[in-house]
């Protein structure tokens, strides 16, 4: 149902024994601000689309260009980090999935039992 278009919403990245995630909580088509969530850092930091995507790809990274051997003599090494999980959201379902959460409705029996326990303490 709806379009078959999916947008990248989150990326989990692995580097040896350490993991972190990039997420775009405010989707604006294929745009939106990426945020890095890292268990080793107490703060969440915003980053550009290019930085989040480039940091998630495996492959190789350039160390330097050795001009003595010509412009094609590039020294590289394998990247230490790579994406291990991608989270996509179906474009036609994004409005339902990304709405503000509401507090659950509690039954009157649950509310009264909770209130009576609080009064007894």
Q: What pLDDT, in 10s, does the model give residues 23-72?
A: 887 766 556 788 888 878 777 778 777 778 777 777 777 777 666 766 66
pLDDT band, very low/low/confident/very high, at 120 (cuts 50, 70, 90) = low
Bridge partners (DSSP) of residue 10 are: 23, 87
Average pLDDT over residues 73-96: 82
Two tokens, residue 3? 């379009």
Two tokens, residue 67? 């001009």
Pick the more confident residue, 9 or 1.
Answer: 9
Identify whether the C-beta of residue 7 lies closer than 8 Å to the C-beta of residue 30: yes
Cβ neighbors of 108 (< 8 A, separation 6 or more) are: none
Q: What pLDDT sits at residue 66?
A: 67
Whether this prediction's pTM lies above 0.75 is answered by no
Which SS3 state, helix, strand or coil, does residue 41 take?
Answer: coil
pLDDT band, very low/low/confident/very high, at 114 (cuts 50, 70, 90) = low
Q: What pLDDT sits at residue 52?
A: 80
């Amino acid at each position: 149902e709806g379009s078959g278009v999916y947008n990248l919403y989150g990326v989990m990245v692995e580097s040896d024994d350490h993991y972190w995630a990039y997420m775009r909580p405010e989707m604006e088509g294929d745009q939106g601000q990426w945020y890095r969530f890292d268990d080793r850092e107490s703060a969440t930091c915003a980053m550009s689309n290019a930085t989040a995507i480039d940091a998630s790809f495996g492959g190789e990274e350039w160390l330097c260009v050795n001009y003595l051997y010509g412009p094609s003599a590039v020294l590289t090494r394998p990247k230490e980090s790579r994406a291990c999980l991608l989270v996509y959201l179906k474009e036609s379902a994004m409005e339902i999935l990304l709405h503000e959460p509401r507090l659950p409705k509690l039954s009157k029996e649950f509310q009264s039992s909770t209130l009576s326990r609080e009064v007894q303490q």
